[in-house]
Amino acid sequence: AQSVTQLGSHVSVSEGALVLLRCNYSSSVPPYLFWYVQYPNQGLQLLLKYTSAATLVKGINGFEAEFKKSETSFHLTKPSAHMSDAAEYFCAVSVNDMRFGAGTRLTVKP
Amino acid sequence: DAGVIQSPRHEVTEMGQEVTLRCKPISGHNSLFWYRQTMMRGLELLIYFNNNVPIDDSGMPEDRFSAKMPNASFSTLKIQPSEPRDSAVYFCASSLDLGARTEAFFGQGTRLTVV
């Protein structure tokens, strides 16, 4: 069965600093991977997805993620954090159904 | 399209009562998922349907939980009887089809409090 592990339940960065949220996956078949963002009292919104077309995937709001098969990783990055990026971020892996990681809460300090 | 629509947004009920959560998926989507989110357990997949047929309900925690999808535009998740530990946010999501490439679109969730 497929699964994802998000390293770090809480990440805090200063405004303008690099954002790095870590995700490692486990799958017996080539995986499809996703990052979602959840703002308070909202549902999850898709940030980006990897479907094997390209290993570097660009998403909305300046986020991108790189699929590294050798490291079984799909880390999410953004060069410069903005206050509005404060939210919870979920990595997910899909074969037939979609399984989510535990989430990482991103705090952005002014 | 209005997206995935869930109702109610908030539900407060007494222990022992029956609770029904409702979901309208995006038109044209063939797959529907029910998730539960809590601080302790994160986002758990409870059950999913494809073409109105339940495919996997192994995530349903107990027999008190049941889900139906009578047609392509409506699904319910029922808890009978409800217990305080069922308090959580319940999300419905839909996707074009099962299969790895298709992302899920989420509703706003129903926040259930059982007192």
What's the residue count for chain A? 110
Confidence of residue A52 (pLDDT cuts 50, 70, 90): confident
Q: Quick one: chain A helix, strand, coil %, rounded to 5?
A: 10, 55, 35
Report the residue of A42, A44, A47, A88 to disrupt the B interface, i.e. the one with the largest count of B CBs within 10 Å.
Answer: A44
Closest Cα in chain B, distance from residue A84 (Å): 19
Of all residues in chain A, the one with the smallest CA distance to B5 is A43
The first and second tokens of residue A66, run together, are 């790189």
Report the residue of A98, A99, A104, A105 to disrupt the B interface, i.e. the one with the largest count of B CBs within 10 Å.
Answer: A98
Residues B42, A42: C-beta atoms closer than 8 Å:
no
* Mean predicted confidence (pLDDT) in A76-102: 92
DSSP A60: G
pLDDT digits (tens, 9 = 90+) for B93-108: 999 887 667 889 999 9
- Give dist(CA A106, CA A20) in Å, integer: 10
CA angle B113, B34, B39 (to 5 degrees): 45
pLDDT digits (tens, 9 = 90+) for B41-89: 889 999 999 999 999 999 999 999 999 999 999 999 999 999 999 999 9
